[in-house]
Amino acid sequence: MVEQRLAQLDNTFHALSDPTRRAMLRNLSVHERSVGELAAPFRMSLAAASKHIKVLERAGLVRREVKGRTHVCRLDAKPLSEVKDWLQYYERFWSERLDVLEALLREDAPTPPSSPRKKGRSR
């Protein structure tokens, strides 16, 4: 079970590692699209787009349905939730480190000089 979840996470990160696939996911977040519609912004062949979509399918991020001769893709965001959960552990780590850094910077911050008073003026 754990190995399967780790393999799923690896597949998701692999799918997200490519900017074309990330853009395809962004397009699918609005509504379902055909393979041709997903390929159009990149001026790539349908075969090349299909290869990208297969990577997204293996990661469970995309579901493809055949409607006649058209392949329609839709986003399945569940694997993104698992990525978010994985990243939250590291968010805590970095938040703690950044809090320490902020405290150190505040300790070392120079005190602003007081403004000099002009002679002849009274308050």
Q: For the segment 27-58, what is each residue's pLDDT rounded down to a tens digit? A: 999 999 999 999 999 989 999 999 999 999 99
Domain-embedded: residue 97: no
Over residues 52-95, the pLDDT tens digits come to 999 999 999 999 999 999 999 999 999 999 899 888 888 877 77
Asked if the structure places residue 94 within a domain, the reply is no
| Whole-number Å distance between alpha carbons of 121 and 28 | 69
Q: Does 107 reside within a domain?
A: no
Question: Which two three-digit tokens encode residue 24?
Answer: 């395809």
Q: Give the pair of three-digit tokens for residue 39.
A: 């390929």
- The CATH number for 33's domain is 1.10.10.10
pLDDT tens-digit readout, 100-112: 788 888 887 776 6
Number of domains in the chain: 1
Does this model's pTM top 0.85? My answer is no
- 3 state SS of 59: coil
For residue 23, the enclosing domain spans 2-78
Distance CA 91, CA 97 (A): 10
